[in-house]
Structure 1
């Protein structure tokens, strides 16, 4: 898939909307996680998104494609959504949305590292330096977590680790998809993986389902996270991938923390420190170098 020469007016509004939706997902996940817990939060969000995308899959007559590739598609679900969403739900119960979203920006960093190890992708000096720089930014960011790093149950250290486990899973999922699902339509891969994640999380979600009924506010937050921040966001992402190419679409990762931090400040009274912003810039620069985006020519 190559990039097209679309004028910026034809793709930037959707690009910003996608970043807004994914940036706001941390806010809604946090609201849901405190009422539901980590596994139920992830399961509700994923299942709602799968239910919304399935009619689109049927309308596009791609159900037969899913049937042909059901094993790798469903298997990728836990890496693509199940484990990451549960990890982020857990993290958001212990650290703020801004920090979580900045750590999420390391996704392409792990993607580049795993593609080098697993698929033998080229890792030149620039990309290697990017990996080192990006991971340095993560260490610096984690070293100044409010309240200090603690690896006790519920501590901020475990929350940071949970975020990195999530992005590591995304990195594995990227290489897994490239190897086993490269020629499968994106909507098929996403819908199938969401159902695979939903099935995989069903038992953990039921075992940890809250004894006290969650409020309508919590249900509403997860409804928005599932229907808008997951299902609709993926549709927008497919459209951007098709119209602008994967390289440009992937850079949305760098804009997500802007909205996540903005919403955190506006609605949760979170504080964004200069240290957080400095570390975020280091992580983004390292990720851009490691993923090979720096130096590519983008037109439009």
Structure 2
């Protein structure tokens, strides 16, 4: 029996504890993004906040693009621009808009639907067989959205916020399949830098026109900067690092943890409660996402 090299054993041991730790850190960061939007969106508005987030995230990731720019042929740039709008610009604006009207946990729960919509559009775009198990998972997820949309928080309806968050998840599903269709083999962090840059440019005129005229508080500015630097730029780099180490199917499990952290951050720091409809919807949606991933494997 051949002995396992000590270097390989050490590396495997490091991965055993490092990957779950990084998944937890990433989930905590992305969960905090909904809290930061909840703080900053009422003062900045949806478009300006999304623009700050995109621009700062792009700046963090641009060094990765610079080192790999030779891998991007001219013909791919228009596709990258379209994907940037679909996968970043509009979803970020929709989530910021939703954050003005609903608790942070609502957006995070809707965001988890992206996994289901990715599977649905894979059927439509690539002809993949969905199977009855994944079809049931999709149905359960949609029921969860209906439960969430029909709920009220502090006496106010949150239906439009749920619609915005779900619309963002739909666009994430389309964007993921467009990446699969056109960008397979491209360096993922560099692709993220390009798409965020194009998304930022596409929103810039709207953000400029809608820029708030009143003074912005320190807490709103701090939340906006954290949203762009930490929750977008650094988080994207961490996510793609995880994909490279443990694979996409394992890295996507972070989706299950993000709503939990989002609700926890909002409860601890903003005093937002977890309502019964939110708990039911989260159970249906996250359960359907987990079941869908299990059926896929």
TM-score by length of 2: 0.91
Per-residue deviation, residues 72-124 of structure 1 (Å, max 9, x unmatched): 11221111110011001000100000122111111101111111111211211
Deviation of residue 29 (structure 1)?
Answer: 1.4
* Alpha-carbon contact 1:65-1:188 (below 8 Å) kept: no
Q: Is the 8 A contact 2:42 2:100 kept in 1?
A: yes
Q: Which residue of 1 aligns with 2:130?
A: 123
Q: Distance in 2 between matches of 1:95 and 1:54?
A: 33
Q: From 45, 53, 63, give the equivalent of 2:69.
A: 63
Determine whether 1:40 maps to 2:66: no
Q: For residue 111 of structure 1, what is the aligned residue in structure 2?
A: 118
The structure richer in helix per residue is 2
Aligned equivalent of 2:260: 258
Distance 2:154 2:37 in 1: 22
TM-superposed CA distance for 1:67, in Å, is 5.0
User: What is the aligned-residue RMSD (CA, Å)?
Assistant: 1.8
Distance in 2 between residues matched to 1:41 and 1:86, nearest whole Å: 8
For 1:218 and 1:42, the matched residues in 2 are separated by 13
Distance 2:61 2:138 in 1: 35
**Structure 1 residue aligned with 2:281, among 270, 279, 282?**
279
Q: Which residue of 1 aligns with 2:3?
A: none
Separation in 1 of the partners of 2:166 and 2:155?
17
Aligned ranges for residues 131-170 of structure 1 at < 5 Å?
A: 131-146=138-153, 150=157, 156-170=158-172
Q: Is the 8 A contact 1:29 1:89 kept in 2?
A: yes
The Cα of 1:66 is off from its aligned counterpart by 3.5
CA separation in 2, counterparts of 1:49 and 1:20?
A: 17
Superposition map of 1:1-300 within 5 A: 7-58=15-66, 61-68=67-74, 69-146=76-153, 150=157, 156-290=158-292, 292-294=293-295, 296=297
**What TM-score, normalized by structure 1, do the two folds share?**
0.90
Runs of 4+ in 1 over 4 A off after TM superposition: 147-150
Deviation at 1:274, TM superposition (A): 3.4
5+ residue gaps, structure 1, are: 151-155
- For structure 2, the 5+ residue unaligned runs are 1-11
Which has the higher mean CA deviation after the structures are superposed, 232-241 or 210-219? 210-219
Distance, in Å, in 2 between the alignment partners of 1:228 and 1:174 is 22
Q: Specify the alignment match of 2:5 in structure 1.
A: none
d(CA) in 2 for partners of 1:273, 1:32: 23
Structure having the higher Rg:
2
**What secondary structure sits across from 2:153 in the alignment?**
coil
Equivalences, count: 285
| 1:66/1:188 contact within 8 Å kept | no
| Contact kept? 1:50, 1:191, Cα under 8 Å | yes
Deviations 1:47-92 (A, max 9, x none): 011011112332xx21222454322112211111100110010001
